[in-house]
Chain A
Amino acid sequence: EVQLVQSGAEVKKPGESLKISCKGSGYTFTNFWIAWVRQTPGKGLEWMGFIYPGDSDARYSPSFQGQVTISADNSISTVYLQWNSLKASDTAMYYCARTKGAFDIWGQGTTVTASS
């Protein structure tokens, strides 16, 4: 079965760092881009960026460029989304999704809460 499994919910304080993960299985991990999507009640679904694990080529939405880092570890078929300094406004649900165009397989989501 093709699936993406994300790491668990996180509660952090503003200013702290965070790295969440997305592990792929059931397919050739290096052959598909993996995207990160943020969902909030106010702004809906937002594409943050994606990475091609085959060569670690990462592309970012202008809205998220410089705010987060997307990386991959092919040895464990895992993609990461990282913040160096969380803001309260980063509180959201984050999804990873496999893509060669449309987003055909989604992870279950990771809730991130940044609150003092």
Chain B
Amino acid sequence: EIVLTQSPGTLSLSPGERATLSCRASQTVSSDYLAWYQQKPGQAPRLLIYGASSRATGIPDRFSGSGSGTDFTLTISRLEPEDFAVYYCQQYGSSPRTFGQGTKVEIK
């Protein structure tokens, strides 16, 4: 089973700042099948990024994903008020599919 470790656990930033979230895998993620999700309180997760760097339909271009192999990054170039939420990475290259434990982006 691939274990995904996200860091930091919490990121305290102000609107307009840049957010950089990390996701490290315990083994190589096959074909860079790595996704990022955003979850707000009381809501289901929403797909942001798939294939490590492709934005899902309707996702603003301030969200970008990068990385390969075992190290992946989600960058939010300029935080908007609606971006404060919890972010999860997930690998879907091997079974069982696994998620990271999440990074909370909170308002400083």
Q: Hey, which chain A residues are within 8 Å of B60, CB to CB? A: none
Report the count of interface residues on B (CB-CB < 8 A): 22
Closest to A61 in B: B96
Given contacts A99-B92, A101-B92, contact A47 B97 (CB under 8 A): yes
Quick one: given A44-B101, A102-B35, A103-B35, are A63 and B96 in contact (CB under 8 Å)? yes
A102 touches B47 (CB 8 A): yes
Chain A residues near B96: list those with CB within 8 A: 47, 61-63
Residues of A within 8 A of B100 (CB): 44
Known: A101-B92, A102-B90, A102-B92. A109 touches B44 (CB 8 A): yes
Number of A residues, CB within 8 Å of B: 20
Q: Does A14 contact B (CB under 8 A)?
A: no
Does the CB pair A104–B47 fall under 8 Å?
A: yes
How far does the alpha carbon of A63 sit from the alpha carbon of B97 in the complex, in Å? 11
Interface string of A40-81 (1 = CB under 8 A from B): 000011110000000000010111000000000000000000
A-B contact pairs, 10 of them (CB 8 A): A45-B90, A61-B97, A95-B45, A97-B45, A101-B33, A102-B92, A103-B90, A103-B92, A106-B46, A107-B44
**B: which residues have CB within 8 A of A?**
33, 35, 37, 44-47, 50-51, 56-57, 88, 90, 92, 95-102
